Structure 1
Amino acid sequence: MSQPTERTPERPAGRAVPTSADVARLAGVSRATVSYVLNNTSAVRISEPTRRRVREAAEELGYVPHAAARSLRAGHSRMVLLPTSHVPVGPLYSQFFNEFQWALRRLDYTVVQYGSVGLEAEEAARAWAELRPVAVVSLGEVQLTGQGVEILKRSGARAVITLGTRAVEGTHALVMDQGKVGEVATAHLVASGRRRIGVVIPEEPGLAMFSGPRLDGARRAVAGTGATVVPLPLRYEEESANELAARWRDLGLDAVFGYNDEYAMLLMRALQDAGIAVPGETAVVGADDLLLGRLLRPRLSTVRIDMVLGRELAELVDRAVREPEVPPRTRALLDSRVVRRESS
């Protein structure tokens, strides 16, 4: 008795995968025209009625271009790899990432987020290189090295861009001065007459690359002033905030820089519930200048951060891909200034 053969799960039984030739026949055009239209090629002029006919045929047949085949024709992929480990949370960064990915899509790139939890340095670079991206945009939590950058470029990556707190050899580096955020917030509190200042250190994973430099900046701001800085570990939970507020007077603090607006609002509510007057007994400053902070009572003082726009970063990626021979550059980012409101 013959054994039954196994059917591969690549496609439903009896259903052929549509090809560009099928689209060309249905639309009454050449395969080259189908390729030009569906790959958004601007070098060839094609009338709008023809473009519409090709798109309608592709939609009717359920055809989509094959990314790997397109990469072979072009000599490189259109994939921009965005490694993620513990992505920073918050509306400011969410808005930035959404704008960045949308801008890349308009430039005809495919954005792929790659989970990188547990990977370090060269190990991470090798894992990313396996996907053969045309560009990698690293957010800094996985600390790339010069050797890791070389691994990526040898695999075909035309551009490696880092967005973090330090420059990386061989990359287009956008360096964010996170220390300035903590420094200007704390300097504002010192100038307001506060002398024992708490600095919130979030306990959530992935935020140390921001909170550490901000704490260092706060310490720079109090140097030589007679004021002191007290690190305050805090989870983004009501219970944690309430526990901290319950021992506030024992800590003897008269001000707090809340890391960002979200942590500052969480702690400010807990302080108020514990009977601690804001700003009378304790001044509070956040960062990011979120709308919600302006709706509180008292309105939240904050640090306004001018980040690179997602559109600008997407344009940098595109230039670096098109001009891989241009030497990498380091650019400083993150101008920070205090917006004083009622909480301080």
Structure 2
Amino acid sequence: MAKQTSVPASITSADVARLAGVSRATVSFVLNDTPGHRVSETTRVRVRDAARQLGYVPHAAARSLRAGRSNLVLMPASISAIGRLVSDWVDDLHSELDRHGYTAVLHAGRFADPLDAARAWAEMRPAAVVAMDGDRFGGRAAELLRRAGVRGLLAFAAQPVEGVHTVGFDHARIGATAAGHLIGRGRSRIGVVMPLERGLGTLAEPRLAGAESVAARHMATVTPLELAYSRESATALARRWRSLGLDAVFAYNDEYGALLLHALRAEGVSVPDEVAMVGCDDLVLSALQQPALTTVRLDLPSAARIADTVHELIETGTAPEVAPVEAVLVHRETS
């Protein structure tokens, strides 16, 4: 019979208070930075040293109950699929939310139904939800979250979302900007990369639609091109490139663009002579390619501005409008 391992008892604030020689209330005041309570610096140091020595960490849920509200800002994990540009921006947003005393958490669930997603988010009782793919966010989902006590709802979306503080982020405009530039450079047979990685389809499809809308007005054609983010997939596409009869490609973003650019060059397909190319995000790597990659820069509102907006929504229920994300063409050598 296997020997059972005993589970050590959890360290509590009472243990910290006993070691520090203070009351549990004083421990709470110090470790939760409770305003309005005078505690000497000597006592604060003693309490923190005791907590550190015992390995005590305050209970977030209990602290939220005492405060009457959560300090969590929930962000659906689909943001991780948007790309390095937005991922880096989200890292900055985490820091800015921390400045306001909030803890940003990623929710990894994937839901076909927005209401199912809202129910899962509501179970965590966050103070706010920030959705980067807000086009799936509807009024019913927003109402469900509000009934659960979520005070701040902010979404990046192409159109205003009922009951949600919406920041304009139209992925169709990205595709339209790329296609418009390629057509303006004399190209008329445009391929649009459709990444095969999970979660990217919801962003790639409106970018394809934006490219198609521009092409339809200029007697140009658009061909979707499935591509996985792997050397093997890019090589396979590059080897059949000439059979596709395309003279341009919008590569979804700079990372897929760099991948495809190297594969095309390895197969002897000249860029931009045979194929003009546009990426997106204006990452550092785009300017370092040979030839340098033309791209669409996304002018995002600052992480500090979004954190301030979320804080105002939580505190007051309203906040000033935030300027939409702008798509700006950065012309380099691949087009």
Q: TM (normalized to structure 2)?
A: 0.89
Q: How do 1:1-344 and structure 2 match up within 5 A?
A: 11-12=7-8, 15=9, 17-44=10-37, 46-85=39-78, 87-140=80-133, 143-324=136-317, 326=318, 331=322, 333-344=324-335
1-structure distance, mates of 2:196, 2:169: 21
SS across alignment from 1:333: coil
Contact 1:167-1:330 at 8 Å conserved across structures: no
Which 4+ residue blocks in structure 1 deviate beyond 6 angstroms?
A: none
SS across alignment from 1:269: helix
Deviation at 1:309, TM superposition (A): 2.8
Q: CA RMSD in A?
A: 2.6
Q: How many residues align?
A: 333
Contact 2:298-2:326 at 8 Å conserved across structures: yes
2-structure distance, mates of 1:223, 1:142: 24
1-structure distance, mates of 2:36, 2:334: 57
1-structure distance, mates of 2:84, 2:133: 19
Cα 1:123/1:57, change in 2 over 3 Å = same
SS across alignment from 1:116: coil
1-structure distance, mates of 2:190, 2:290: 21
Contact 2:79-2:133 at 8 Å conserved across structures: no
| Structure 1 unaligned residues grouped into runs of 5+ | 1-6
Contact 1:175-1:330 at 8 Å conserved across structures: no
Q: TM (normalized to structure 1)?
A: 0.87
Query: Once the two structures are superposed, what CA deviation does each residue of 1:258-279 show, in whole Å capped at 9, x if it has no partner?
Result: 1100111111111111111111
